[in-house]
Amino acid sequence: MNETKAPEAPRKLGATAPRTRLSKLFDNRWAGLAGLLIALLAPFVNASDYALSIMTSAAIFAMLASGLNIVVGYTGLLDLGYAAFFAVGAYTSGVLATRFELPLLVTVPAVIVVTVIAGIIIGAPTLRLRSDYLAIVTLGFGEIIRITANNLPVTGGPSGIYGIPSLTDSPVTFYYVTVVIVAIAIIGASRLGRSRLGRAMRFVREDEDAAEATGVHTYRVKLAAYIAGAVWGGLAGVLFAGHLSAISPNSFTFLQSALVLMAVVLGGMGSVPGVVLGAIVISLLPELLRGVADYRYFIFGVLLIIVMLVRPQGLWPARSKEALK
Amino acid sequence: MTLLEVRELRLAFGGLVAIDGLSFSVGEAEIVSVIGPNGAGKTSAFNCVTGFYRPTGGTIAFDGKSLLGKRPSAVAAAGISRTFQNLRLFGELSVLDNVRAGSHLRLKQSVFDALLHTPRYRRTERECTAEANHWLDFVGLRGDRCSEARNLPYGEQRRVEIARALAREPRLLLLDEPAAGLNHAEKTEMLDLIRRIRDLGIAIVLIEHDMGLVMQVSERIVVLNFGKEIADGRPEEVRRDPAVIEAYLGSDTHA
């Protein structure tokens, strides 16, 4: 364990442990504002189409990670098929927008409804399973969604859907719209975590029996976590469809699910600033490594292994130490 | 007035009979101890009452209503709290969060309150924290309430678990070996705590191996051996019961 990490205030006995300036700086709110500021100012540094596209993808990826964090980080349910909800959102939005020529924004209510249903369909029968079995079922579900999209006429088969209208005309505005939506989603996920339901999710993660004994209906809480994760993933899918204007089954492979999970684990399970940081590292690192061409993913993999060896708890682990109000 | 009524309870795992026709009742604000050698079926009986095991026969009624077939969270909602033999705290969560779990059922807070941080969100969170602090004061917790529960010493963790069970505001509290692993001074405090809980009007069923504690605190004692009830009576009666002495006390000179 690395003891030099900044975010933790020194442990002191008694309820009046003074909080250092450093721990205040790393208070989630300030970190969130700083992150938002960086995201808003980034186009002033580099606003090439390429850079904007990468940054938009990174923001969408951060939203995915914050959604999966509700399932994996808060509730402790291992989900290996998270890209399925991403796909359900992107396809629902893409099909509605191209078939009925609807603006992307109008498809959002339908996406929410469809992803909630998808969450219930997958969650209701499987959440009775123990965590390792659940992982296998979610893995299978992820593949089923991708293969279904690959074979249905309405989803355009292997070539997918193209010509999806964007939310805005210019990539710069789309980037800003994405940042605002993603920021709201991240704040939402964080607030959910600090609520009655979010606490119940953590009780389930820590000890299901003890949670039941205190009156937490663990099955309902797990289902709620699953549905929340599905909605977050689905809405990220809408942004994804609008960003690329074309989607195909290739965007929703197991690798995508694994990468989101990697962002959550790398950043620190259960920690909102952590998973956002993890998502940004996972999505930007391969781009920064373009210089080494063929060795890109080799170095990417080695770096991930090194990070997990040095900081197994994640880059920015969740703190359970409470600040006094 | 009878609060908990267990009749002819039977529990079998395949061919192994863990509980064989157990009957006992607990009145309001009464302290009843369940004692017996290891493997006698005490914890199994707790698990049947709280919905963790499904009994193969018999009836369990709480306040006149059957508890059979209810899941543990529904039993908790009906007004029964429990602690576990091996501490089952939420170790990585703060001490306060552990006790807040007890308020879960009473907390009127929707997801929208949480997402929008409505005045109701702030009020319910404040109340929940105040309740948690109240129960931690009640059990006399020493130590940092804001840090992770697993960092507390063992005896303090026991108190946190009881505070969590009390925050549910139960009418019946099941304590599974609350004094196990405590030193002499801590046991005395536990004895005092159990009495103070009863004085709140909460009935207590206690599984305990420490005979000194059991004899001092119980109003009635139920003795189990091999899943069968062999005695039920006041401490002084049970102490003299030949069947009990043979099955249990006779084999344990510390008693």
Residue A269 falls inside a structural domain: no
Strands B228-233 and B220-225: antiparallel
Determine contact: A16 vs chain B, CB below 8 A: no
With an 8 Å Cβ cutoff, are A214 and B101 in contact?
A: yes
Q: What pLDDT score was predicted for residue A6? A: 37
Within 10 Å of residue B54's Cβ, how many Cβ atoms? Answer: 11
Within 10 Å of residue B223's Cβ, how many Cβ atoms? Answer: 24
Q: What pLDDT score was predicted for residue A12? A: 35
Residue A195 near residue B113, CB atoms below 8 Å: yes
| Cα B141 from Cα B95, distance rounded (Å) | 10
Strands B228-233 and B203-207: unpaired
> How buried is B139 (Cβ within 10 angstroms: 0-12 exposed, 13-18 middle, 19+ buried)?
buried
- Calculate Rg over the CA atoms of chain A: 20
**CA-nearest residue of chain A to B88?**
A210
Determine contact: A197 vs chain B, CB below 8 A: yes
> How buried is A295 (Cβ within 10 angstroms: 0-12 exposed, 13-18 middle, 19+ buried)?
exposed
Select from A203, A13, A323 the least CA-distant residue to B153: A13
Helix ranges, A108-207 (H): 108-126, 131-151, 171-193, 196-206
Determine contact: A217 vs chain B, CB below 8 A: yes
Residue A33 falls inside a structural domain: no
Residue A65 falls inside a structural domain: yes
| Cα B158 from Cα B181, distance rounded (Å) | 10
Cα B50-A220-B103 angle, rounded to 5 deg: 60
Domain count, chain A: 1
Strands B220-225 and B31-35: parallel
pLDDT at position B252 over 60: no
Its domain, for residue A99, covers 47-253
Q: Which of A12, A198, A216 is closest, CB to CB, to B101? A: A216
With an 8 Å Cβ cutoff, are A14 and B89 in contact?
A: no
| B103 DSSP 8-state letter | G
Determine contact: A184 vs chain B, CB below 8 A: no
With an 8 Å Cβ cutoff, are A211 and B101 in contact?
A: yes
Select from A99, A90, A69, A116 the least CA-distant residue to A246: A90
Within 10 Å of residue A160's Cβ, how many Cβ atoms? Answer: 21
Residue A104 near residue A90, CB atoms below 8 Å: no
State the best of A16, A116, A191, A320 to mutate against chain B, taking most chain B CBs within 10 Å: A320
B chain contacts of residue A192, beta-carbon cutoff 8 Å: 111, 114-115
With an 8 Å Cβ cutoff, are A321 and B117 in contact?
A: no
pLDDT at position B142 over 90: no
Determine contact: A264 vs chain B, CB below 8 A: no
Q: Which of B89, B115, B124 is closest, CB to CB, to A191? A: B115
B chain contacts of residue A322, beta-carbon cutoff 8 Å: 94, 96-97, 145-147
Q: Phi and psi at residue A291, in whole multiples of 5°?
A: -55, -30
With an 8 Å Cβ cutoff, are A15 and B146 in contact?
A: yes
Amino acid at A294: D
Q: Phi and psi at residue B38, in whole multiples of 5°?
A: -55, 135
Residue A314 falls inside a structural domain: no
Q: What class does CATH assign to B1-79+170-255?
A: alpha beta
Residue A206 falls inside a structural domain: yes
pLDDT tens digits for range B176-220: 999 988 999 999 999 999 999 999 999 999 999 888 999 999 999
Residue B233 near residue B201, CB atoms below 8 Å: no
**CATH 3.40.50.300 domain position(s) in chain B:** 1-79+170-255
pLDDT tens digits for range B157-183: 999 999 999 999 999 999 999 998 899
Which parts of chain A sit beneath pLDDT 70?
Answer: 1-28, 320-321, 323-325
> How buried is A4 (Cβ within 10 angstroms: 0-12 exposed, 13-18 middle, 19+ buried)?
exposed
DSSP letters spanning B36-53: -STTSSHHHHHHHHTTSS
Residue B36 near residue B241, CB atoms below 8 Å: no
Written as six digits, the tokens of A75 are 């509730």
State the best of B52, B80, B108, B111 to mutate against chain A, taking most chain A CBs within 10 Å: B111
pLDDT at position B63 over 90: yes
Q: What pLDDT score was predicted for residue B248? A: 63
Q: Which of A194, A214, A320 is closest, CB to CB, to B94? A: A320
Interface confidence (ipTM) of the complex? 0.92
B chain contacts of residue A324, beta-carbon cutoff 8 Å: 146
